[in-house]
Structure formats: structure tokens, C-alpha cells
Chains A and B, each alone.
Chain A
Amino acid sequence: MNNRYELNKNLAQMLKGGVIMDVTTPEQAKIAEEAGACAVMALERIPADIRAVGGVSRMSDPKMIRGIQEAVSIPVMAKVRIGHFVEAQVLEALEIDYIDESEVLSPADDMHHINKRKFSVPFVCGAKDLGEALRRVNEGASMIRTKGEPGTGDVVQAVRHIRLINKQIRMIQNMREDELFVAAKDMQVPYSLIEFVHENGKLPVVNFAAGGVATPADASLMMQLGAEGVFVGSGIFKSGNPEKRAQAIVKAVTNFNDAKLLAELSEDLGDAMVGINEAEIELLMAERGI
């Protein structure tokens, strides 16, 4: 009687109001757990370093992922390349808690995403707009995150993506029923998903913010714009004081509307990650896999 897809959407519900942190070692995973991360993303190189090193980036070494699974009791996620369903099979064999089919890694397929309906483990995917989000849901994703621009410490793209997704949701919600058919056609998504958004005014799955979040105020900004939780990648372990920053971001997500508390949390955090401006980067990861 188990409905795996329901159970997988349910796990994302349990992560809401939380912060998911990128970690590259069991030691970092422990720091993240102790700082209050609700899950960790195990990967060999954080996005800022992937950007710096260049070349092809792939799924992490299973041994490294297992080391992190053993180190913490919170859910462990890991990334696969877009379209690389065999990397996903490997992660499923490791009993990973969530797979991120991620534009941060080099895409393995420039046409097709993974058929995520074939898997028992859950998937989270990135999206820049409502059409992308619903296409991923149709393929079987049970959680969505904004793409943002990973490894930059620049929040502008994540803001653009969450605003656009929510604006398009409001637009669909306000349409006449007979206008939904064209909306489904224009967005290249099934009518049933457009109908769900029209009736419920939200995505059928949990939606987190990701890509460029570096400060407690960034995290709070994403929450106030309607994200249900936050992924922080390079922002923590590329900063001067990872433990303190991680804890501050966790508290900022819980009390995202309390400016007084945010002021306290933003004090003395040490250097934020240096960051690269959107206009200075050559590779826009968000353009991968639409």
C-alpha cells in the first residue's frame, strides 16, 4: 500500500523551515548538523570550487558519501548530473535520502532529464520559472528549489527565480478555467499540473531557495519572498567562520520576519564568501537543463 511518491513529498515537508548545507567531509557534516542543518548535501567540491577548477564535474565518490551518512543522523542528499540516470541508480543503491539532479554538475544529457518516476528514492530539481518546475514535477521530482546561480555568493538570480515562479503561480491562480489549456500548452506542462496550481495557488511539492545565499539576511529575503526553506552551498564553508554563520542562517530562517533578531544574528559573522558578480561569470549554471 506504500505510495513512494507521497512519502517522498512528505519527507520534503519535514525539511521545511530548515537549512540544507553543502558539505564535503564527515567533519563538515558534523559541523552542519550541530549548527542546526535539517539535511546535508554531500559533494566532493562545493560549487564555488567547481567554478574555480572547471573541467567536468560528476557524482561524488560513494565512499565519501557513505562516510557522511555514517557521521550524521539527519537526511543526506547528493547530486547527480542532469540526465545521468545511472549515477542516480548508484545513489539509490547507497540508500541516499534525496537525490539532487543538479545543474551544478556538468550535464550528462542535453535533451532529457532523468525519468524520476522509475526511482524509489526522492529527487529535488532546480527551476528558474513555473514551467521548468512543473516539468520536473511531471518527471517525478518530489521537491523543487530555485536554481539561483551556485557558487557565486550573489543572490540576485535566486531572487529572480523565486519571484518569477510565485508571480506565475499567482497568474495561473487568477485565470479563467478556459484559459488554463493555453497556459499548459505555453508552459509545456500537463494540464493536470496547471489545474493543481490554479486550484491551490502553490506548487504540488515543497519549494526551497538555492543558489547564492550567503548571509542570514539573504536567507530571510528568500523566506519572505515565499521559499519554504533554504539550501546554502558555498556560502558557509567558504566564509571566515562557518560554524557561526551556519547557526545564524538557521535562526534567520526560523524567525525570518524578526528584523531585530536578524540584526543580532548578522553581527560579527566574520568575512562572507568573497563572491562573484553575475556580470563577471562566464558560465551560467542556471541555463543548464530547462
Chain B
Amino acid sequence: MAKTIGVLAVQGAFIEHIHALRQLGVNTFEIRQKSDLEKNSPDGIILPGGESTVMGKLLHELDLFIPLKDRIASGMPIFGTCAGVILLAKEIDNDPTTYFSAMDIAVERNAYGRQLGSFQAYEEFSDLGKVPMTFIRAPKITKVFGDTEILSTVNNDIVAARQNNMLATTFHPELSDNPVIHKYFLDTFL
């Protein structure tokens, strides 16, 4: 049976994730409020790119924070991209606020500077070979601890990591035409 993935859709580039998942024949739904999680039973959840401050605030105000945190803690597969990585991180170097605080990584927000620092790369990812990567005002994973495993680096900066049920990429695989990282998430975590 086709798997179902919920994509957090309070702000940001969520439709791009939905398009990538549809290419892979996966059922999707948007998570805009608590009832969306109750009506659907996802096999996994994606935390997309956007502004982490906006998403963090709306998660609390729309009563999504606790239900999502519980699902992450119970081992549901979670894939965070860019701002989604900030939501997952246990430590944020340049911000006292943390969100789900679930993954043993430290991140630095806007680590490459403003929009002029945004860039594209084509680098090795785990055993998938080279994949296209787009970084938009991206964070950096400055440290991994616990049993977090590094999956990819660009110029010695960690850009992808995994731990238990969680996958984190500071780049945007949803902006690429080829949903190779989404396939990796589905194949490896679900």
C-alpha cells in the first residue's frame, strides 16, 4: 500500500515537498492545524524550509507543537530541511530558543549570511553519489553528538545528518527536479 506523508504547511516551501513525494507515488497531506494530524495517520512527516521563527511560533499557536513532538519522540520518521533542521536541533548556536529539541546536533542559523551568501552545490551524499544541493540563507550543522551520523559535507561543513528516526538536510532537496533524497528518506526510514 502507498505510504502517507504529512508535510508541515504553516509557512514556507511545503508544496515543493508534496510535488516531490507525488513523483514517488506517495500519498500526502498538509499539516496546517491539529485536526489535520488527527484526520490522517501519517507514516512519516516532513518539516520544510521557510522561516524557522515563523514556523516555531505557529506550531505553538496552532496547537501543533505537542502532537508533533510526541510523534517525533515515539519514533515516527521525520525529515527536516533547512528551517526544519533548526526545528529538530537540540542546540542553536546563535539563538537561545530551541524547538522540538529532538536531534543531537547543534546548528547555526543563517550561517552563510544574507541572500548573497545563498549557493548551489553538487556533492556526495551518503552512498548515493553526487546530488544537487540548493542552500538558501541556510543554517550549518556545527556539531553532531550522541549517535548522530554525518551523511554529507560541503567545504567541510556538515550539510546532512541522521539519527534514529530523523533525517536532516540544511539544503533543499525539494527544489531539485530529481527527488533522490526523498526516495532515500522513504527507503531508509519508512
Contact = CB atoms under 8 A, between A and B. Distances in A.
Interface in A54-89: 69, 73-76
Contacts of A179: none
B114 A73 contact: no
Interface in B93-129: 95, 109-110, 113-116, 118-122
Contact of A13 (B13, B110, B121): B13
Interface in A102-160: 120-122
Given A13-B16, A255-B33, A38 B115 contact: no
Main secondary structure of the interface of B (DSSP, over half): loop
B49 interface: yes
Interface in B35-76: 49-51, 53-54, 57-58, 61-62
Given A7-B119, A10-B175, A38 B33 contact: no
A11 B175 contact: no
Interface in A160-179: none
Nearest to A13: B13
Contacts of A247: 61
B174 to A, nearest CB: 9
A98 B116 CA distance: 10
A6 interface: yes
Interface residues of A, number: 40
A7 B134 contact: yes
Kindly state the interface size class of chain B when it binds its partner.
35 or more
B31 to A, nearest CB: 11
A1 B122 CA distance: 9
Contacts of B120: 1-3, 6-7
Contacts of A13: 13, 16, 175
Interface in A6-46: 6-8, 10-11, 13-18, 33-34, 36-39
B79 interface: no
Contacts of A3: 120
Interface of B: 9-16, 32-33, 49-51, 53-54, 57-58, 61-62, 82-83, 95, 109-110, 113-116, 118-122, 134, 136-137, 172, 175
30 contacts: A3-B120, A7-B119, A7-B134, A7-B136, A11-B118, A11-B137, A14-B136, A15-B12, A15-B50, A16-B11, A16-B12, A16-B13, A16-B15, A17-B11, A18-B54, A36-B53, A36-B57, A69-B114, A75-B51, A95-B113, A95-B114, A95-B115, A95-B116, A96-B114, A97-B114, A97-B137, A250-B54, A250-B57, A251-B62, A255-B62
